[in-house]
């Protein structure tokens, strides 16, 4: 339903026609203005926004057709309906090609006019509504974890924008937990395929036979347990994108199959003969050194070149330290909100620790660390004790640069003390030293119990 009155401009050189139409539309509760020629129409059009213009083809001065072109230059959305004498129908048809919505012959059948106008306005409203919904959808599906202001991430964003609008196969390289899937989603939602699905297949998690049926689908009875016909991921990705994660792990046989499907976009379901065509874009990801795998013969060279059309290298988190505070605060807000806890900050000490940590598990590890901290913290600020590293990652050096034995000893003692709640006797026993030696080491390294 129209919520506001639609605005109509009637352009005709005959006063009686303008008045009749104005009167007619006013009875239908439209807002109506009239113009007596092309110039007058352009003046009124520039002043006010109209939803629909009813335009006489034959007028002195600017003709209806010229006016149509001029108006369409200003506003591509406005609905233009032409009024024409029966004899000028061919030029009305030309007008349709130039962007008019419809034409109506004089004298006008009032019923026809009502229906054309009503339908045109309804269509316009639906189009507007559709655009609004699409915009809202874009907001909703924007991957919110793809965050960073470091030069390396800014470069990634530029690359995403470059590759997204094309249909090029892309491969995303990077360590585990760096957010390769998020980048694939970002490419997908910035592409023309965004209103179709992005289908993710974790190739590393599936055995060869299962992967085959996952990717291509299977017919009923294709193998033991195939009780129903099932669509494969390539079929499901029709119109959209297929994201093949951990591509480096697939078997040589699947590599051949994959290459064939990527090139032909055609395949058959397992146990079936029907050739299925699917229009998909491939984005692959791996944390393996594919070049090395090609050298060793574990990965087909032709598939490597087929996938390696456009490569995005995602930097590990330790190489973009400046993003850590932004990411940490983002995850804090996310988890505090979802757990309904009032935690507003991360202490300087905890943040300093996060920046100095090595992050072998990258952004995923940081996300998990913040989630845990939000669960355990009892104040409105995350403290260093809320972070899990002292306990869970004894093997990870705090500071990558300091590889001395002294640093290792200091950290080992600190972890042991923390684990045993600073019970000196038990810690000394666990460390295999006496209590006096432990006290000396605590003093030497300046270790302090956190309150």
Residues that bind other proteins (CB under 8 A): 14, 16-17, 20-21, 23-24, 26-29, 83, 106-115
Beta-carbon contacts of residue 87 (< 8 Å; ≥ 6 apart)? none
Please, what is the Cα angle at 246 between 242 and 249, to 5 degrees?
120
Rounded to the nearest whole angstrom, what is the least distance from the CB of residue 102 to other proteins in the complex?
A: 16
| 181/185 Cα distance (integer angstroms) | 6
Q: Return the number of the residue (26 or 138) whose C-beta is nearest other proteins.
A: 26
| 451/446 Cα distance (integer angstroms) | 15
| 274/231 Cα distance (integer angstroms) | 13
Contact indicator for 205, 197 with CB cutoff of 8 Å: no
Rounded to the nearest whole angstrom, what is the least distance from the CB of residue 8 to other proteins in the complex?
A: 14
Q: Return the number of the residue (112 or 138) whose C-beta is nearest other proteins.
A: 112
Rounded to the nearest whole angstrom, what is the least distance from the CB of residue 32 to other proteins in the complex?
A: 12
Q: Return the number of the residue (12 or 367) whose C-beta is nearest other proteins.
A: 12
Rounded to the nearest whole angstrom, what is the least distance from the CB of residue 104 to other proteins in the complex?
A: 10
DSSP result, 327-369: HHHHHHHHHHHHTT----EE-HHHHHHHHHS--TTHHHHHHHH
Q: Return the number of the residue (57 or 83) whose C-beta is nearest other proteins.
A: 83
Rounded to the nearest whole angstrom, what is the least distance from the CB of residue 41 to other proteins in the complex?
A: 17
Rounded to the nearest whole angstrom, what is the least distance from the CB of residue 69 to other proteins in the complex?
A: 24
Angle separating helix axes 348-356 and 324-338, nearest 10 degrees: 120
Q: Which two tokens stand for residue 309?
A: 């059309």
Q: Return the number of the residue (2 or 436) whose C-beta is nearest other proteins.
A: 2
Q: Return the number of the residue (60 or 446) whose C-beta is nearest other proteins.
A: 60
DSSP designation for 170 = E
Q: What is the rounded radius of gyration, in angstroms, for the C-alpha atoms of the chain? A: 34
Q: Which residue has the tokens 């007596």?
A: 36
Helix, strand, or coil here: 201? strand
Count of other CB atoms within 10 angstroms of residue 336: 18
First to last CA, the chain: 64
Rounded to the nearest whole angstrom, what is the least distance from the CB of residue 83 to other proteins in the complex?
A: 8
Could you give the C-alpha distances from 183 to 26, 193, 198, 205, 312, in angstroms and in order? 54, 15, 12, 20, 9
| 317/105 Cα distance (integer angstroms) | 69
Q: Return the number of the residue (12 or 365) whose C-beta is nearest other proteins.
A: 12
Beta strand pairing call for 275-277 and 266-268: antiparallel
Q: Return the number of the residue (21 or 183) whose C-beta is nearest other proteins.
A: 21
Rounded to the nearest whole angstrom, what is the least distance from the CB of residue 110 to other proteins in the complex?
A: 5
Q: Return the number of the residue (23 or 94) whose C-beta is nearest other proteins.
A: 23
Rounded to the nearest whole angstrom, what is the least distance from the CB of residue 61 to other proteins in the complex?
A: 20
């Amino acid at each position: 339903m129209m919520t506001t009155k639609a605005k109509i401009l009637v352009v005709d050189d005959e006063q009686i026609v303008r008045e009749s139409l104005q009167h007619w539309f006013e009875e239908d509760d439209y807002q109506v203005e009239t113009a007596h020629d092309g110039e007058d129409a352009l003046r009124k059009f520039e002043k006010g926004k109209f939803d629909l213009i009813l335009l006489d083809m034959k007028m002195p001065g600017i003709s209806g057709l010229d006016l149509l072109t001029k108006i369409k230059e200003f506003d591509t959305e406005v609905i233009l309906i032409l009024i024409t004498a029966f004899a000028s129908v061919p030029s009305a048809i030309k007008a349709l090609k130039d962007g008019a919505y419809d034409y109506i012959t004089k004298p006008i059948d009032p019923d026809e006019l009502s229906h054309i106008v009503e339908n045109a306005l309804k269509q316009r409203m639906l189009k507007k509504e559709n655009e609004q919904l699409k915009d809202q959808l874009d907001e909703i599906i924007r991957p919110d974890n793809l965050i960073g202001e470091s030069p390396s991430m800014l470069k990634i964003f530029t690359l995403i924008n470059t590759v997204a609008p094309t249909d090029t196969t892309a491969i995303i390289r990077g360590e585990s937990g760096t957010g390769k899937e998020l980048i694939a989603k970002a490419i997908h939602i910035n592409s023309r395929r965004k209103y179709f699905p992005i289908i993710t297949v974790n190739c590393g998690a599936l055995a060869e036979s299962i992967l085959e049926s996952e990717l291509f689908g299977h017919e009923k009875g294709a193998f033991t347990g195939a009780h129903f016909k099932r669509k494969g991921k390539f079929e499901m990705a029709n119109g959209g994108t297929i994201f093949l994660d951990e591509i480096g792990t697939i078997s040589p046989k699947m590599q051949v199959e994959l290459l064939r499907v990527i090139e032909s976009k055609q395949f058959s379901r397992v146990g079936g003969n029907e050739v299925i065509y699917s229009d998909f874009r491939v984005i692959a990801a791996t944390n393996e050194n594919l070049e090395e795998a090609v050298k060793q013969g574990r990965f087909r060279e032709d598939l490597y070149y087929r996938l390696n059309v456009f490569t995005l290298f995602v930097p590990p988190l330790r190489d973009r330290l400046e993003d850590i505070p932004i990411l940490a605060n983002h995850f804090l807000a996310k988890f505090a909100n979802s757990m309904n806890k009032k935690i507003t900050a991360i202490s300087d000490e905890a943040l300093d620790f996060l920046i100095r940590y090595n992050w072998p598990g990258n952004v995923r590890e940081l996300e998990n660390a913040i989630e845990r901290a939000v669960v355990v913290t009892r104040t409105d600020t995350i403290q260093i004790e809320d972070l899990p590293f002292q306990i869970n990652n004894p093997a990870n050096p705090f500071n990558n640069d300091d590889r001395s034995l002294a640093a290792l000893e200091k950290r080992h003692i600190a972890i042991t003390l923390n684990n045993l709640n600073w019970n000196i006797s038990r810690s000394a026993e666990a460390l295999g030293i006496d209590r006096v030696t432990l006290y000396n080491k605590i003093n030497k390294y300046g270790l302090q119990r956190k309150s």
